[in-house]
Copies of this chain bind each other. A is one copy, B any other.
Amino acid sequence: MVEKCKVMDKKAKVLDAALKLFVEFGFHNTPTSKIAKEAGISSGTLFYFFPTKDELVVALYLDIKSKLGCEITESISQETSFKEILKKYYTTTLDWAKEHRDEFKFMEQFNSSPYLKKIAEDEIQKYVKPLKELLQNAIDEGVLKNMDLEILFTLISGHTFSINQYLIISEPQESKREQIISETFDLLWQMISA
């Protein structure tokens, strides 16, 4: 047990260091030697935990994805009406992105890179399936416009993503921020609700 904790700790330190450096310099301009140094370990130890650099990159991505997934699942568990659930989805994602700026930036970089091919399709779907099921129900119940599920999903993701970009760049004060989130959710809702 003690052993395992130690392992996780080192692994986590490597992932932390890698995240920080990847976001600043990009995957390729970040040598494993620098990651090891930043993590406070030797190069040999890094490769003991992650057999290749690629595996490290992928592991980091999956780690972040799962953390965000947990956060969202937890936050929506208390809501009941569909609109409230969706709003929670929206706000939680934006809040998480604010508190985990590097993680978001990294995911963005990863998603639009050829690395994405290395991830199995079902691994990707795992995190979006719950939301898609929710949306399908809402369509069936006449809460949302009767449109193609994939388009609907795309619209919501795109909206969330772009408002997130805006919030990151403009850095509004907390009260202003909440207002923007609330108002842009209303706009989204207006677009997709029946």
Contacts and interface: CB of A to CB of B under 8 A. Distances in A.
A89 to B, nearest CB: 16
A163 B170 contact: no
Contact of A166 (B25, B28, B154, B191): B154
A109 interface: yes
Contact of A26 (B29, B115, B151, B184): B115
A177 B145 CA distance: 19
Nearest to A25: B114
Contacts of A108: 112
Contact of A158 (B26, B27, B105, B158): B158
B163 A161 contact: no
Given A190-B191, A191-B190, A155 B184 contact: yes
Given A111-B112, A150-B166, A159-B159, 6 more contacts: A27-B28, A29-B114, A108-B112, A112-B112, A147-B183, A155-B163
Interface of A: 23-29, 105, 108-109, 111-115, 147-148, 150-151, 154-155, 157-159, 161-163, 165-166, 170, 180, 183-184, 187-188, 190-192
23 contacts: A25-B114, A26-B114, A29-B114, A105-B112, A108-B112, A112-B112, A150-B166, A151-B163, A151-B166, A151-B180, A151-B184, A154-B162, A154-B163, A154-B165, A155-B163, A157-B162, A158-B161, A158-B163, A161-B162, A162-B162, A187-B191, A187-B192, A190-B191
